Chains A and B, each alone.
Chain A
Amino acid sequence: MDFALNEEQELFRTAIRKYMTDLGKTDIARSVIDGKLEVVTRVTAGFAEMGISAIPISEEQDGLGLGALDLVPVFEETGRVLLPGIQLETIALAVPLINNYGTQVQKSNLLSKVAIGESTISVAWYEQNRGLTPKSFSTIAGKTTSGYAVTGTKTLVAVLGNPDFFITGAQTAEGKSLFLIKASDVASRKILSSIDETQQIAQLTFDQAPAELLGELGEATQMLDDALLHFNAALCSSMVGGMDELVHTTTEYAKIRVQFNQPIGRFQAVKHGIVNMKLDLETARSLSYYAAWAVENDTADKQTAVHSARSFISKAYIKAAADSIQLHGGIGFTEELDVQLYLKRARYYENYFGSVRDSRKKTAHSLGWHTKSTKQTPVPVF
């Protein structure tokens, strides 16, 4: 029994934390709000230098061939400072999709560039008013002499830092399928205004965009679900990082802010409020570690591990940020304080590729709650 990150992972955490501090922590996110987007390119290069973007990529494609657990310290630390960009989409969604379903050629063309920081990839899945699991896509892929051509409009696509490729879902005769499209082949792009201004989401229009098939025709949903295990594990770590920072800053504020001649942290309404945040944080961290462990080891309970973690953490993150605003008083309601940025990020993630309700449903199904009851024994066997 050993339930902790190993020494190298903790050392890696220290290094990433230092890098984030050198970049000015949430200053990076605030630069994006101010429209200074160069910083995002710098981060992509920095990530490659530190070997972060190479973590989940195999050695054949110039990667490190490491697993989901090695991403835990990375995303906790980027989540702590609300690092803007599409690191999660590239490293934890596009890479697993290409790793699992790409051809040898696609892997060598795409992944080594990601590993060395020359490329980022986003996922264009959503369509307007169709939710996460549409019966069919309105975006259509037609066969051409050299491959496919995709036409249609996608929305809610994360585009900060200008990804070079999009993995998109489109309808074919066989059903919903996945395609790779070069960013330069996107017909038009409209940035959408979003509650989280530290990120950028866009509506993309494809007009006969040349596209390469990824994986099997008609298998888009199943492929996405599979890759989302990686994505959700990483997303959970990112949210845990944010929660950790919220507990820390709220605690420190409660020690120095004086009212009625005493630090407000002495009032139990405040103290217990922060303790409740801390309890959620510890549970969130345990669940996220376990989720990453289950993904890395491809365990039988990985569905349960990931979806239960996501269901708890999405909700707990919003609560931590909301409570933190309240415990700060007036200053908590200002633009100046970072806490509001955490709330907006938490909201941005809440329903991203799956809601709390979806995750709980998946948890219930993966635990076999909807299969016929088996015979009960008075003494269960583990």
Chain B
Amino acid sequence: MDFTFTKKEEKFRSELRGWLEQNLPEGWLKGNRKLPEDSKLYSQFLRDWQRSLYEGGWAAIAWPKEYGGRDATLIEEIVYHQEMVRVQSPPLINYIGIHMVAPTLMQMGTVTQKEEFIEKILTGEQVWSQGYSEPSAGSDLSAIQTTAVKKDDKWVINGQKVWTSFAHVADRCFLLTKTEKSEGKHDGITVFLLDMNQPGVETVPIVQMDGHQEFNEVYLTDAIATDADVVGEVGKGWKVLIALMLHERSGIAAQVFTLEQQFNRVVEMAKAVQVCGVSLIEDPFVEDGLADLYTRINGAKLNYYRNITHTLKNGKPGPESSLDKLLVSELTKELFDFAMTIQGHAGVLMAEEALFDSDMQAQYLASFGATIGGGTSEVQRNTIGERILGLPKDLGR
């Protein structure tokens, strides 16, 4: 066992640190981390940020060098996410493009698709969204109803997507459609790389329970795609969908370190906030609860390290890594739930009036999305029970 980083890895860290100090937006490191409210300005701000990440060579470190990445090792990825979380870097507007779509295209895209999209994803010129969920197909994606029908040499697409993150700022959508009625539940599905800048695509933002508008409804009315936009084979989209979902897992490092940082923030609060001159942390109930959370959050991080070790030794991730998402998202919810409880009635105050942290109440509200997006906790438990423990499959699936 060894928890140290090599000289090379530490050099990588200091290189990134140096770059961040020079290139983060004005005032960012001093704590001025407000993003523009206006949707256009917000989008521009984040596109600019991605552009500078790209110019520094820090937008997609895990990609192969031939595509403009750094061929970073798994450990370098850990270092990268530790540092990005440490400075609370602005969000990556093209998260879906960089971490999900491009790796999938590298794996199964055509030569033309690779040439046309991968570089634009890297530079931030083209922002991507993921069009899977529909009003009647969420956990069960095989129930999608959006259709793509071939007319002459074009595909005509009709239907509705929902909860589509980034769609309001996106140029392209990794779109799941039904192209034929079929026997098997997973047959007849086709993935398109849909151009969103066309009259047949209408995006309507949805207000989330935390007041933000980060996901959308997307209405498709005779939207047009071509054969060149199909990923993999027509009717064999389920394979593509699974491939992309495997890449989705790569986000776990950032979540682990973010959770750790959020926890430390709650401890700071418990030390700083006083009731009748006594810090919250001196209350045995608070101390006990936080020690429990500390242990489980640290345990989740150690689980992640154990899984990384497994991957390094075996060349591919073991099934245990699917536990990480479930643990981290559930713990995020529990952490903020407890953070609310210990603030007492003043915990209802938010933003500038908040007892300690202007963001904490919003983070509490946002935490509810974590156990729904990317597959609900219930669905994760099904997957773990069936894939890792070998328990019998749900009848419906």
Contact = CB atoms under 8 A, between A and B. Distances in A.
Q: Do A and B truly interact?
A: yes
Contact of B385 (A274, A293, A311, A359): A274
A278 interface: yes
B309 A3 contact: yes
Contacts, number: 165
Contact of B87 (A1, A2, A284, A379): A379
Among the interface residues A247, A284, A309, which one has the most CB atoms of the partner chain B within 10 A? A309
Interface stretch (A89-97, A106-114, A366-374): A366-374
A370 B1 CA distance: 31
A311 B295 CA distance: 8
B1 A369 contact: no
Contacts of A360: 287-288, 291-292, 295
B8 interface: no
Nearest to B79: A1
Interface string B367-397: 0000000000010011011101111111100
A278 B295 contact: no
Interface in A349-382: 357, 359-361, 363-364, 367, 369-370, 373, 376, 378-382
Interface string B315-332: 000001001001100000
Contacts of B288: 357, 360-361
B108 to A, nearest CB: 31
B381 A275 contact: yes
A340 B272 CA distance: 46
Contacts of A272: 378, 381-382, 385
Interface in A138-155: none
Interface residues of B, number: 63
A309 B291 CA distance: 11
Interface in A264-287: 265-266, 268, 271-272, 274-276, 278-279, 282-287
A312 B295 CA distance: 7
Contact of A3 (B261, B306, B394): B306
A271 B86 CA distance: 38
B277 to A, nearest CB: 14
A254 interface: yes
A323 to B, nearest CB: 14
Contacts of A290: 298, 302
B31 interface: yes
A275 B385 CA distance: 6
B42 interface: no
Given A287-B295, A370-B282, A282 B29 contact: no
Contacts of A247: 389
Q: Which of B308, B385, B394, B395 has most chain A Cβ within 10 Å? A: B385
Contacts of B1: 2-6, 69, 289, 293
A5 B310 CA distance: 11
A263 interface: yes
Contact of B2 (A1, A263, A268, A364): A1
A42 interface: no
B145 interface: no
A3 B305 CA distance: 6
A298 to B, nearest CB: 14
A186 B147 CA distance: 85
A275 B390 CA distance: 11
Interface stretch (B162-170, B218-226, B263-271): B263-271
A36 interface: no
B59 interface: no
B382 A268 contact: yes
Interface in A2-17: 2-6
Interface string A220-253: 0000000000000000000000000001000100
Contacts of A370: 281-282
Contacts of A363: 291, 294-295
B193 interface: no
A284 B1 CA distance: 17
Interface of B: 1-5, 29-31, 75, 78, 82, 86-88, 261, 264, 267-268, 270-272, 279, 281-282, 284, 287-288, 290-292, 294-296, 298-300, 302-303, 305-306, 308-310, 312-313, 320, 323, 326-327, 378, 381-382, 384-386, 388-395
23 contacts: A1-B75, A2-B1, A3-B309, A69-B1, A255-B391, A262-B392, A266-B392, A276-B381, A279-B323, A279-B384, A283-B300, A286-B302, A287-B295, A287-B298, A290-B298, A363-B294, A364-B281, A369-B270, A373-B272, A373-B279, A379-B87, A379-B88, A380-B261
Given A1-B308, A1-B309, A379-B86, 9 more contacts: A254-B391, A255-B391, A274-B391, A275-B381, A290-B302, A308-B294, A360-B291, A361-B287, A363-B291
User: What 9 pairs across the A-B complex have the smallest Cβ distances?
Assistant: A378-B31, A286-B302, A360-B291, A283-B299, A265-B391, A308-B295, A271-B385, A3-B305, A266-B392
